[in-house]
Structure 1
């Protein structure tokens, strides 16, 4: 059954705090008993389902989708392509399933495909990152040749992102105000101004999207993946999910266990913590990753000097008062901080990030603006990332933080996480005026799934390694793998991890539990 959400009506609900109260009577913990000839006998306990073996690859799909060449458009988005690599694009029609019209309506998802193996391998990424089609295309150019020869790599723009009926609904002024907001603001009066901007953005999205607003979430995106499997005509869905998309794959597994093929999760949010705990985790891991970036910067004698943290902290403090000039728009402290976070996600971008911060110290925000441009402004056919992140993030969580707590959280987190605690705290309060879903996303509990490799990265600015460890622990068939490197996601960045994943996807060789790969 689809999740249901209280009817939003014509206006968003007021700021709420979700308080869990009351008790319920659970099932008896005593063993089942049977009576026979007046003698009490203990019935044997039912055996839990056994983990499934690694699924076979399957045969070439009976594909009913209409694919059209889109190589040149893809080249313009991801840059140079390997010789001979081509791409085709299509649209997937699935059920919208809005709370006000369950199991009705149509959702349209944009798809991309490349490869020569004919067996589909679906790639999904973070909802707050580049569109899934772009991410899949970029990853496909870097995957081992044996994976591309075995599979067709298929990317999908998740609901409300990219070209999947994008949630391009936040007015530009509110988008810039929310993302550029002072990352060190801790006073209630200041934070109330942020909440006013978020409320204005939320109301505008409700007006533009109407019933579609509450249909953009991870629960329903899992049903899009199932519809994609059916349209491809394959018995099992093979997939890679990076970062927050790891939760999408576990949600799919809980809803459609019979469709789970060879899944790989490359970083994931901690399933044992709520959205506030996950935001706190992100602030913590971003700080740790910045320290690795700073040490790397010093070792390369980069222009940020002997103490990059202090240099950057001073830059953020200055831009709280006076934003940097950028190309067509200013770059205030909030965007400086978010630009750093974006740059930390790809270690190959660290030299460019150091140069951008150095330019910022000289009073030029042009290069820093490039890191945050996808969040704020359209990039070609793709809308700003912020809108889809806001909507899906708020639809996925039942947590609502009241305004009176915003100052308390901001003070605590900016004290413990000086660079990134403020923007993490702001994420938590974004959803205060949002309709509350009646149930959270399901925890990963299925025991009858195939082995699922779960990869942690030691210094991932978006997903704390400990949180991904917890995902591997909670997932009954999870197989933990560790990379000691830095950046968001290990596949294609670590040769050791990539080779192990390739062996699993192509030959069905399950990685060794707890295997660790050096940086």
Structure 2
């Protein structure tokens, strides 16, 4: 049965959107800058600002870092504190935090219906600062609204005195007209197929997912991607009434903000990319980096576990491997009927590794599964598999966006070889992550031109990398930063998904966003 939101959009596709999506005016009015001009942190110039060598080709100079403008907001906000706390679940955030929610109407802009149709984007704001700071998260991670709510409890007071966080659920995810197109049993097959088995079973499940999404989403199927999500961000900027978009993107969400800088370089404000996906065109190379980052993070988790004398002992990698083999012989069934086999257990571990604040909880969950109780570990992967009225299963919108963002499709014989290669090189997670190559094989590939790389003419963009990151590994982030002429990178020598858990990184981010201090490119923050 078609979703009510989908029916609404299909009925509206014949309408002229001039009345719904205002024409973007480059010279829109805004309040005066409330911050001092740009200064270089530590007294050292970024390489992007150094003079060119005589006789060398000219390098495009970044625009000056814009000042900060207060919001002149036209969105219809309403209190959503109770619902947001219900969606967040435990642990509870500080009681003083209040949340407001709104809906943003923007163009669907499907490939076959350019600039036609509408879709609704959910946004949430938290904080009292006069300047808006947009927040974007991984497409298959926590929705951007909830990520912004959690972030508000972690960021320094100085930053929150200046900014109000405005989290955005990416199109097709969270409460932004979510994609609900993959049947429950197909989700379980996609996520739960044993990586030690033949990848053909994953490919069969991917074909079913692609067919069902094509039927359910119709014209919307090709409209879920990072390029169009960047257009949603610009519509948000206009509705907030500011001339430049100040934004913080986490992990794969940085793809959206990077696309924004390409599409609208003159509208980029102070932008922070906390981990950036590898831009390499070869998907096997990309997943090789992700698997390497995941295993490096598992090693760091084990070292942390040993220091805390956690129940896994001194070798967490061996504990995870032993659990995987045990579940291969005898899967666990949770109280709600979920069959926890080796694939779902490994995916749960990956989800837990990404959240450094949950590492103690992850250790306890792995130990519990080893003792025959699978519920605590299953909780880490459940959001990908199942959903409810407030929050749909995260796999659907995530799969649609990742497949639309990825143009390469591998033939079946290459899938098998890639799985064997990655599994041999990265014995814990390699074959599991190789399954992603099959997920998009039946999915139609965009025929639109490839967006140009980099963002010439944009102001300095702060890029954060993490030494051991299971989602956006450091080498991929470095490659992405090298393609951005104005990127300035701060490297954290720690582990987990994203660098904002580092006090050193938070200090540099706060100085960049609040005071316009651009850190020295390549500076290191200790673990």
Q: Scaled by the length of structure 1, what TM-score is found?
A: 0.88
Compared with structure 1, are the counterparts of its residues 167 and 494 closer, same or farther at alpha carbon in structure 2 (3 Å cutoff)?
same
The equivalent of 2:201 in structure 1 is 193
- Corresponding residue to 2:439 among 405, 412, 430: 430
* Aligned-residue RMSD, C-alpha: 1.7
Tell me the SS of whatever aligns to 1:239: strand
Q: Is the 8 A contact 2:202 2:438 kept in 1?
A: no
Q: Which residue of 2 aligns with 1:132?
A: 144
Partner of 1:367: 376
Structure-2 separation of matches of 1:429 and 1:359: 32
Specify the alignment match of 2:81 in structure 1. Answer: 71
Distance 1:432 1:106 in 2: 28
Q: What's the counterpart of residue 351 of structure 1?
A: 360
Task: Specify the alignment match of 2:215 in structure 1.
Answer: 207
Partner of 1:80: 92
Residue correspondence of structure 1 range 127-206 to structure 2 within 5 A: 127-185=139-197, 190-206=198-214
Aligned partners of 2:266 and 2:457 also within 8 Å: no
Distance 1:81 1:184 in 2: 40
Residues 293-442 of structure 1 aligned to structure 2 (within 5 Å) = 293-328=301-336, 329-378=338-387, 381-439=390-448, 442=451
**Distance in 2 (alpha carbons) for counterparts of 1:279 and 1:159:** 24
Deviation at 1:54, TM superposition (A): 1.1
Residue by residue over 1:141-165, the C-alpha shift from the partner in whole angstroms, topping out at 9 and shown as x without a partner, is 2111121111111001001100011
Q: CA deviation at 1:46?
A: 9.6
Tell whether 2:484 aligns with 1:475. Answer: yes
Question: Residues 115 and 151 of structure 1 are in contact (CA less than 8 Å); yes or no, is this contact kept in structure 2?
Answer: yes
**C-alpha displacement at 1:100, in angstroms?**
1.7
Q: Which residue of 2 aligns with 1:14?
A: none
What is the alpha-carbon distance in structure 2 between the residues aligned to residue 131 and residue 429 of structure 1?
A: 25
CA distance in 1, matches of 2:440, 2:202: 12
Q: CA deviation at 1:272?
A: 3.5
- What is aligned with 1:34? none
Larger radius of gyration: 1
Instruction: Say whether 1:118 aligns with 2:115.
Output: no
Deviation at 1:428, TM superposition (A): 1.1
Aligned to 2:286: 278
Q: Structure 1, residues 107-133: CA drift from partner, whole Å, max 9, x if none? A: 110000111122110010100101110
Q: Which residue is equivalent to 1:466?
A: 475
CA displacement at 1:305 relative to structure 2 = 3.1
In the alignment, what sits opposite 2:458? 449
Deviations, residues 379-407 of structure 1 (Å, cap 9, x unaligned): 56111111111110101111001112221
Secondary structure at the residue paired with 1:488?
coil
Does structure 2 retain, via aligned residues, the 8 Å contact 1:250–1:444?
no
User: 2:68 maps to what in 1?
Assistant: 57
Unaligned runs of 5+ in 2: 1-54
How much has 1:301 moved relative to structure 2? 2.7
- The whole-number CA distance in structure 1 between the counterparts of 2:57 and 2:317 is 57
1:23-73 residue CA offsets vs partner (Å, 9 max, x unmatched): xxxxxxxxxxxxxxxxxxxxx999664211110001x22211100001111
**In structure 2, how many angstroms separate the alpha carbons of the residues matched to 1:381 and 1:480?**
37
**Following TM superposition, by how much is the alpha carbon of 1:311 offset from its aligned partner in structure 2, in angstroms?**
2.4
* SS of equivalent to 1:244: helix
Gaps of 5+ in 1: 1-43
In the TM superposition, what is the alpha-carbon distance from 1:440 to its structure 2 partner? 6.5
Give a deviation string over 1:407-430, Cα, whole Å, max 9, x none: 111111111111111121100111
Paired residues in the alignment total 470
Q: Deviations over 1:71-93 (max 9, x none)?
A: 11122233433353211000010
The DSSP-based 3-state class of the residue aligned with 1:455 is strand
Provide Cα deviations, 1:464-492, integer angstroms capped at 9, x if missing partner: 1111122222211111101111111111x
Aligned to 1:17: none
Bigger shift: residues 130-139 or 441-450: 441-450
Task: Give per-residue Cα distances to partners, 1:350-372, cap 9 Å, x unaligned.
Answer: 12111111111112211111111
Secondary structure of 1:363's match? coil
- The answer to whether the 8 A contact 1:396-1:440 is kept is no
CA contact (8 A) 1:178 1:197 kept: yes
**In the alignment, is residue 257 of structure 1 matched against residue 265 of structure 2?**
yes
Query: How many Å separate the matches in 1 of 2:283 and 2:314?
Result: 36
Cα deviations by residue, 1:288-338 (Å, 9 ceiling, x for unpaired): 111111222223332223433222212112212321121311111111000
SS at match of 2:463: strand
* Matched-pair contact (CA < 8 Å) for 1:397–1:440: no
Tell me the secondary structure at the aligned position of residue 179 of structure 2: coil
- Whether the 8 Å CA contact 2:179–2:396 is kept in 1: the answer is yes
